[in-house]
Amino acid sequence: MSPFKTVLTATFFFYFAWMMRQMLIPLYAKYSGASVEAAGLIMSSMMLVTCFFAPLFGLFSDSLGRKRVIVLGLIIGAISTSIFGSVREIRMMILISMIFGLSDAAFAPTAHALVGDITHAKQLGRSYGLFHTVLQLGQLIGPFLGGFFILLYGYLNSFILAGAIFFLGFIAALNLPRGTRIRSSKRLDVRKTIKVLWHNKLILISYGSVFSLTFGWGVIYTFLPLYGLYLGLSTAIIGMLLTAQPIANVIIRGPIGEISDRVGRRLLFLSIAIPIAVLATAFLGVFTHVAILMILMVLVGMGSGVTLTIGSAIIAKETSQETRGVAMGIHVGALHGGMGLSPAIIGMVVSRYGFQYGFHAAAIPGCLVSLFMIAMMRKGIIHD
């Protein structure tokens, strides 16, 4: 099996288990007697750990090799997920979630960087489109089956099953060749690398786009299950709602990658996709009908698919092989920073004002980034 197919296989299993776990945690926390704020804190703790450590693991993958870091991420994910259902105390849930955050910090930036390493510059859109399609297929199946697993087997066994799926990804990653290590005659100057990234406006726009998008994701993954329970929906229906987003992702990522390779105009795609995703998020708390909620989740998925595919391609194109791990680490840090901050922040909004205002507030960063990006494009400060 080629390195590209191998990393796709490991990615599928990782995000299958990751998304299943994301659905299980807030429901299990509620089942264990946790408040809305506590559920948000549990989710935030994991995301913030990933946010802070992803650049560091990206740096490790540049120097130690991609395979070692990918395998480490899958091992941490399998162990921390399997034991989560055996604890009932909020403090222990937070601690285990923080440990799991290291799993994503190791796996995500390294897998992203590896795709860029083994792909020709003219095919980055296509390769990242396929990569994110497989990623979203895993995220599609995770919550769909997770909702049914809870009904059939309970929380404890569902967490153990999710851990076993991580282990399948570990087995696949063992087939990655050792040659996926980056060797350089010069020692990587981290400060210089960060300075170069900081002055690249296209990369900064990509980071800002991802952060604002996933700020809404954190709210959706944490509070949409609780909002569903508030509306009287079953866990199976809640799982189907969460599944609608990755379905839309799967449909749009491949084509948008191909189109961006052919016509360019990646910033234009971003300026359209982000408002669609954040506005759909804002309206989730307005409606109670399942069909309308499903349509809004599809719109979130479409906007997300375009944003993440285009953002990854921009970063891969604007960086060298020796610095790509760090750049993708910051990318993943921005992604999880948004997801990590929003549950804690919006949890206070939801607790005081209700779900509707919580979903409205989740759209604010995306609206600001969209306006800023459009203004810079009109002034000619940034361009493809």
Q: pTM of the entire structure?
A: 0.72
83 touches 96 (CB < 8 A): yes
Closest to 221 (Cα-Cα) out of 16, 32, 40, 9: 40
Report the share of the chain in percent with pLDDT over 70.
94
What confidence score (pLDDT) does residue 189 get? 61
Distance of CA 379 to the CA centre of its chain: 31
Residue 185 has pLDDT above 60, yes or no: no
What is the rounded average pLDDT of the residues 257-271? 77
For 79, other C-beta atoms within 10 Å of its C-beta total: 17
CA atoms within 13 A on the CB side of 241: 27
pLDDT at 245 exceeding the cut of 50: yes
Residue 120, helix vs strand vs coil: coil
Give the other-Cβ count within 10 Å of 201's Cβ: 14
pLDDT in tens, 27-55: 888 888 888 778 878 877 887 888 889 88
Q: How many CB atoms lie within 10 A of CB 189?
A: 11
Query: How does DSSP classify residue 317?
Result: H
Residue 343 has what pLDDT? 81
Helix axes 290-318, 90-117, angle to 10 degrees: 50
* Digit-coded pLDDT (tens) for 128-181: 878 878 887 887 788 778 878 887 888 889 999 999 999 999 999 998 877 544
Residue type, 368: L
Is residue 340 within 8 A of residue 51, CB to CB? The reply is yes
The dihedral through the CA atoms of 186, 190, 191, 195 has a sign that is: positive
Report the chain's C-alpha Rg in angstroms.
19
pLDDT tens digit string along 126-143? 788 788 788 878 877 887
Contact criterion met (CB below 8 Å) for 229 and 354: no
Which string of b and e fits 111-128 if b means at least 16 CB within 10 Å? bbbbbbbebeeeebbbbb
Amino acid at 149: F
State the pLDDT at residue 282.
Answer: 93
Look over the chain and give the mean of its residue pLDDT values, rounded to a whole number.
Answer: 84
What CA–CA distances, in Å, run from 367 to 20, 203, 216, 272, 336? 29, 19, 11, 11, 19
Reading the block at residue 19, the tokens are: 């998304």
With a cut of 50, say whether residue 184 has pLDDT above it: no
Average pLDDT for 372-380:
78
H-helix segments, 65-189 = 66-84, 90-117, 124-173
Higher pLDDT, 82 or 343: 82
Which has the minimum average pLDDT: 64-68, 158-162, 179-183, 218-222? Answer: 179-183
Q: Give the mean pLDDT of 359-370.
A: 91
Is 11 a residue whose pLDDT tops 90?
Answer: yes
Instruction: Return the minimum-mean-pLDDT range out of 205-209, 310-314, 337-341, 380-384.
Output: 380-384
User: What pLDDT was estimated at residue 137?
Assistant: 83
pLDDT at 121: 67
**Can you list the domains of the chain with their CATH numbers?**
3-174+196-378 (1.20.1250.20)
pLDDT of residue 382: 63
Give the confidence band of 80 by pLDDT, cuts at 50, 70, 90.
very high
Question: Residues, the chain, total?
Answer: 384
Q: Tokens 């499903």 — which residue?
A: 294
> Residue 312's Cα: distance from chain center in Å?
12
Judge whether residue 373 has pLDDT over 70: yes
